[in-house]
Structure 1
């Protein structure tokens, strides 16, 4: 049933009820005034006969003619008006009682209209609340089928919501399947890499024992690169599959940054790069120390590659909403066209260092975002690249 038909039926019901009430009220008022008229004529006739008994025959004739309505009284001179009387003097009802009678007819009509309006609004409110609760269940992942109801003006909206939710569930399931498939492929690739890496490692050891030093250093570098690729792919597979367990514990930000810098001590000394981590008071974040430290190490490595021989600055601050960590350098910064793609897997920027595989920043992003955090990268106005991490409290 369409909304217009529904409204038309309600209005028809209200009009019908009003007409019925008017008919009943008119009938009852007609009987009431007929009774008043009869009693008034009876009283007047009795008083006239008491004073003039010989006028009985004349009075009866007049009453008979009036009752039979054989006489046209339209042209007769109004006697009562000439004597100064009005119709209200013989009605027997005061103006107050007339107002009460009018109110008695008006108030039920108003009440009926208000009741109908309230019922319709209440019904709409219940339907809206039901649809809102259904959407809340969808958001929480607990939605089922919508209860069957009679058609009304919300039926089309309800159908469209259900279609949209069904489509979203199908899209979500397809995305989860694709993600699981991708994670499985990454894992398989990593395990396939593991076999030749092991074989190369054994061959390298044999070559070193036999004194063949000509190509061993180059092989060692490539072997290290393959091993790092294998570990990164396995980590990506665990992140995509949701099997990477992240502990939650309060970690001091200064300690986190210091431990990350300690792990890069050898690389920093070789490149002549320094890391500045000022103490800015006790500030804690609720994260997994080991994996968050891994993410920070990747960010520091990136700054080191883009600014060898310079200084990496680490700053941090806290407010009621989040804890912010900045890791930045004094180098040339990122190429403008690289910035939108920095956190994409296997993306290598224009000035990326040789030997990288383009996974470090994407891993850092995954680890941080899985701990109620955000990360973004950009160039500072005064020069140099900057990573900004925010860990939100709620």
Structure 2
């Protein structure tokens, strides 16, 4: 059978299996095992355990559970509330300062926790009621938190970037750096739209908040600055050549646990057990998907599907930007239905040869892919952040939350366009810090 037709059949079968309700990892194993048996015989099943566990034989994978422990220990404390309160006290006199402080808190907490739902829950529980109490439109209050929560998969340290680096054998350090400027760009675009929407509402009271004394501003900082220092320390150790990503993640996880115990009194064994239990559960889920995706990639390569698609794309006389547009549409649709980790691990083996053949930078493409995944987090039918916000503020209709998040989707699309026009936004910092690639 022609590998291209076979690839289409594999894609349809994968979609049907995943939509049946089975977990992503198990679904990938079912599809991979089925096609290997059909086309290579029963002997191919003997290789599956070796490939499955061999995919996990990678030192860089240790950074995933460590960064998850960092995020879980932060999410289990009042760090989100304190971060929100600190920014609110310092920015309240700026026009529209409350919505800016909410977005800033989302960006910082997302960077610390790496979890989009955790960010929405931690910041939204305080931010949404406060914004509504002061008269901010429900769409701005809900949409800004839903969109701000997505920043965690772009701003380093990002588990999504680690997964992309492992799947494509790309430098994780460069990927982290590549997400910094685009992440700040998105924060700026989100803030600009929020201020415009606030101004458009016509309520002058929204443009100035309550006044705080200098004592009130400084008293909250000791509970927030240690976490921020850890994040900066992790990044400095990584890019200063002091330690590998896995080593810095381990130290960061330990320090976050210590701060959670010392500052937030998270000393009870039951509380620590919850942190470690949730971290283990999420880590195992991600690692199982990575292992299953390795078997899936082997199946695609063994049946010559990946190579045939890359060769077929190379023979097309299509403008490379038209090709990139088609790739973005594919990623956008996939992100509507599947979590970012699953999309990256399934799509990377197919898309990376296409991207390189078309002359695009894989580091730059990682940022484009991640922003597409961010859009999926606030888009139906599976937009997880929308349902988290709905749980926080059940009296705000899901339609209002969705409509409130749409302008932020437009901001993300604008960011993708800007990155296409100015790819240096993603590639300049990695090259400046780690040197230009050959």
Give the TM-score range, shorter chain: under 0.3
TM-score computed with the length of structure 1 as normaliser: 0.22
Q: With CA pairs under 8 Å and 6+ residues apart, which has the higher RCO, 1 or 2?
A: 2
Larger radius of gyration: 1
Richer in strand (by share): 1
Richer in helix (by share): 2
TM-score computed with the length of structure 2 as normaliser: 0.21
